[in-house]
Amino acid sequence: MRAPLLLLAIAKPICGLSRPCCGRRAAVFGAVAASSASVLPATAKDRVTGYPNQYDWEKTLAPGPFLVLRQGGTEPPNSSPLVKEKRAGSFGCVACKTPLFDSAAKFESGTGWPSFASGLEGVEIVESFTGGLLGNELRCYGCGGHLGDVFNDGYLFRGTPAEKTGKRFCIDGAALVFQPADGGEPVSGDGLSKRQYSAPKDVELPAWLQPPKVG
């Protein structure tokens, strides 16, 4: 990403529920991805390209989580209820419940996807030679499912935890379930399965994108 507003346009493509998409990195530089097999996910803990046990997961997952976790799809921005989740707690894989992110690492990126400055041990980074420019794919260590991508532009998000780590973990909310620290009911991040989502009118901008206050 070269500028904050450019990030909003290209960091993550929008993909319909009916078909998987090729991911954020390939959408930005499709020609590069198409010309080199190295752009495709390498093995993660000896896993081959693709997402294992796809048939079994299709029986147990709702359409939204299945699209993201098992097919590498991407949800529309602001479609997940977890975008605005600010309570203390933890975020885990909706399929296998592996802990993935702590609420202390979550920040408002303005992109429309849940964003984190760092991940827990349950988050695997699938390295590619374009990772420094286009970002690297993220997968769940427990089930091998696709979570999103990690980008090296955290320093742009002033006043957030990402400024310190230099990383922005851009995650599809449909892959997550949030467990509040106070013991409340878990919250699913799936805003796709029933197609009952629309861009909210009160999209929250991060502090560094908000216009200056007068008076």
**Consecutive H or E run containing 126:** strand 123-126
Take residue 132 and report the two structure tokens written for it: 């420094």
- Residue 29: closest CA among 110, 123, 129: 129
| Cβ–Cβ < 8 Å for 107, 101 | no
By three-state DSSP, how is residue 110 classified?
coil
Known catalytic residue at 170: yes
Q: Which of 15, 21, 143, 170 is catalytic?
A: 170
Residue 80: alpha-carbon gap to chain centroid:
11
Q: Are 42 and 128 in contact (CB under 8 A)?
A: yes
Helix runs in 46-205, H state only = 54-60, 63-65, 71, 131-134, 161-165
Catalytic residues, which ones? Answer: 170
